[in-house]
Chain A
Amino acid sequence: MFHRLAIRTAQSTLALAGLLLLVFFLSRLTGNPTDLYLPMSASLEAREAFAEKHGFNDPVLQQFLDYVRGILQFDLGDSIFQGRPAIDAVLEAFPVTLRLAAVTMALSFTIAVVVGSVAAMRPNGPFDRLASVLTLTSASAPDFWIAIVGILVFSVGFGLLPTSGMGGPLYWVLPVLVLSVRPIGLMTQVVRATMISALASSYAKTARAKGVPERRVVFGHALPNSMLPVVTVAADLTAGFINGAVVVETIFGWPGIGNLMLSAIVQRDFAVVQACILVTALAIFVMNVLVDLSYGWFDPRIRETST
């Protein structure tokens, strides 16, 4: 397992270095941020002075070396728009996104496992058909539309929930529900498919023949063996959330990493873009390692192969 972890770490470090290299040079290709920072009426001299002060006139290679030197000293540069270290802005936004992603995935995973498993118990039965229609619909529903309709119905119409913002439990309801709709749909489909296969397997039949109650066959025997593809899909969805749920963050006014990254890209606030990418890439690397470890836990054969 440690060997596997070491290989995974080395691979991720290389991928991270490549990613940072790519982001650095691609963002410079979009041009100089001076024009977006200064007012339209700023003189050429003012533009030159600003670009000079922030090093935008330096050769790109020189800028890259300065950036690498900064990383080695844990200095990711300053946001020119916010006038403070870029990492401060990122570390304020990232926990917001993480919390939102964690709650959303916990809810989605639980619902998907229960609904998918129950649906798999009687394929093509009434519950399965209903679940399939609902999950297919939810997997393809646009976040933006659901969010706006949700606000109009539950906040403006019934006055049950706040429209947006961060606060107590009620403030979480709409963002989490909107964000959960698609993962629930996707994961339910995966759970259902793998569970149908698992429940038809020889070990499930043997268990039933030995008189094991059906509930235990489903949740005790089949479900753990069906988890690998579900965990993989869940990890993929979580990675998407860690990069920021831009639409939901924007509509509900959640100051997460997606919002921050988007505005930094639009403003060419290079230091913030790079810091966002670095932090999210590190988080995704950690999550991938945990997922790898979980594979071994769900399937002992993987653990034995690794050792």
Chain B
Amino acid sequence: MGKHSKYSIALIAGACSVASSVAFAEQVTIVLDTEPEQLELCQSARSQVGKVVRQNIGETLTEIDPSTGDITPRLATSWTQLEPTKWKFELREGVKFHDGSDFDADALVYAIQRTLDPDMACENRVKYFDGFELTAKAVGPHTVELSTSDPVPILPTLMGTMAIMSPSTPMGEPSRAPVGTGPYVFAAWEPGQQIELERFDGYWGDTPQVTGATYVWRGESAVRAAMIETGEADIAANIAIQDATNPEMDFSYLNSETSRLRIDTQIGALEDVRVRKALNHALDREALVGSILPQDVILATQLVGPSINGHNPNPKPYSYDPALARQLLDEARADGVDVDAGIVLIGRHNIYPNAFEVMQAIQAMYADVGLDVSLTMTEAAEWFELLVKPFAEDREPNLLQSQHDNNNGDAVFTVFAKYHSDGGQSTISDAEVDRLIEEAGKATGAERRSLYQEMFARLHDEIVPDVYMFHMVGFTRVGPRLNFQPSIATNSELQLSQISLR
């Protein structure tokens, strides 16, 4: 081998090495707390699936900004309501799926039919499209008419939850290799070990800086945090408060969850609103903040956060006033209400960090005002049976530890199940609340917001179906290589295109 050949090989090798290290430098590794069971786009409402696929592999027609609730175009460029039950969506032209097929009206109709197929048991359908019929019809190469059996004024919002898959995805069976239109292509999945995505060169939008991502998962928060410190990963999701010890790397953010104790208003002393108010006044919420719950949690007055359409900023948190709580209980007792009968405080292990400790503290606070409260902790399955109807006839008066997640921009995703008389988890039956929920569901704009706000005010001030707790926060650890700010959306999606490298 001649001298020049040797130099050439050395130069090529060096160039390859530099190229690969540059490529590697623009790759990110994300460590999740659990492996996604599927990578099916119609299951993207599941948080562990959504974090990988949503807006990375599969995109939606519209996009919800969880911090404001605003809807912006994504695969659809515009939409018009033709009738109360009919909408027209204009689709973005020139968009390709990762398999090379065109995104057009026919492709969208197929994706909607597949998502709504009952055999698929898609979370996206069950969570957002249950209770009414949705049919899609192509009326032009890039125009689709969507019809609903009932008026659904927030259909554009709902379409922000449905990730669109390629027509090559088989109907009726879940996919483990998703094909969408997003900025990243599914590359590989080694079950139990890692998932890899690569940047899609044919993406219709701006080219993201990150060239690819590797997803790994570790069940232990301390290990996830350690992986950022050692440089093995760049983003670690769901860091426990006790592991979030590095202020330069650990970001706290409202995670769209709101915690509460659901009051069973149909049983014993809890039927009396004075007792329910006493339960709220007896709770020293501030004492929990910065001790067993993170410093950044916000006292809640309703089950949706400030960014959700319909949130009412006016109700003030119930004051911690044990004297007033005792007085309310005495008044109820004087009227023959059996406030001295036992109340069961039902917790759920790990519903949020330190959930058990929170329940122990609450039990002690209620004991301080003279209530006889026992504490029972449950596992997820047992807890769920207590959460949903039908409720057991012979149940005891109870307060159920609960947490609700709404980052979809509108109170509609919360109120029916929780507070309507027919809601699957509702313990109240109030004609006025029912009316407000139904009217708001049909209304749009300011009227819709106003009706929901009126409903939340009524719930807070007059019905009191909950012991309101906190808008919760989560922690994500971000490595020093990245510019990435976790947000309220991070619980359900993690858009790689929003990450840049320092």
Q: Are B130 and A148 in contact (CB under 8 A)?
A: no
Select B218's contact among A37, A152, A251, beta carbons within 8 Å. Answer: A251
Q: Are B385 and A42 in contact (CB under 8 A)?
A: no
Select B380's contact among A36, A42, A164, beta carbons within 8 Å. Answer: A36
- If A39-B45, A43-B424, A163-B232 touch, whether A250 touches B176 (CB-CB below 8 Å) is no
- If A35-B388, A151-B223 touch, whether A40 touches B417 (CB-CB below 8 Å) is yes
B313 at the interface (CB under 8 A from A): no
Q: Are A39 and B216 in contact (CB under 8 A)?
A: no
Q: Which of B127, B219, B227, B232 has the most CB of A within 10 A?
A: B219
Q: Which A residues lie within 8 Å of B40 (CB)?
A: 83
Nearest residue (CB) in A for B417 is: A41
Q: Are A151 and B216 in contact (CB under 8 A)?
A: no
Q: Which of A41, A81, A92, A155 has the most CB of B within 10 A?
A: A41
Select B219's contact among A35, A37, A250, A268, beta carbons within 8 Å. Answer: A250
Chain B nearest CB from A88 CB (Å) reads 9
Q: Are A166 and B385 in contact (CB under 8 A)?
A: no
Q: Are A253 and B218 in contact (CB under 8 A)?
A: yes
- If A31-B385, A82-B37 touch, whether A53 touches B121 (CB-CB below 8 Å) is yes
B222 at the interface (CB under 8 A from A): yes
Nearest residue (CB) in A for B43 is: A83
| Number of residue pairs A-B, CB distance < 8 angstroms | 121
Chain A nearest CB from B130 CB (Å) reads 5
- If A96-B192, A151-B226 touch, whether A40 touches B384 (CB-CB below 8 Å) is yes
Q: Are B227 and A164 in contact (CB under 8 A)?
A: yes
A141 at the interface (CB under 8 A from B): no
In the bound complex, CA of A152 to CA of B226 (Å): 7
Task: Give the total of B residues in contact with A, Cβ under 8 Å.
Answer: 45
- If A42-B127, A148-B222 touch, whether A83 touches B174 (CB-CB below 8 Å) is yes
Chain B nearest CB from A228 CB (Å) reads 37
B205 at the interface (CB under 8 A from A): no
In the bound complex, CA of A50 to CA of B122 (Å): 11
In the bound complex, CA of A172 to CA of B123 (Å): 38
Chain B nearest CB from A32 CB (Å) reads 9
Pick 26 A–B contacts, CB within 8 A, sort by A: A39-B123, A40-B417, A41-B126, A41-B413, A41-B417, A42-B424, A43-B126, A44-B389, A53-B118, A81-B38, A83-B40, A92-B192, A151-B226, A155-B230, A156-B229, A163-B227, A163-B230, A164-B232, A165-B232, A166-B193, A251-B218, A251-B220, A255-B192, A259-B219, A260-B192, A266-B379
Report which A residues bind B (CB closer than 8 A). Answer: 30-31, 35-46, 49-50, 53, 79, 81-84, 89, 92-93, 96, 148, 151-152, 155-156, 159, 162-166, 250-255, 259-260, 263, 266, 268
Known: A35-B384, A38-B123, A148-B220. 9 other contacts (CB 8 A): A30-B381, A39-B123, A41-B424, A43-B130, A93-B192, A152-B222, A165-B193, A253-B223, A268-B381
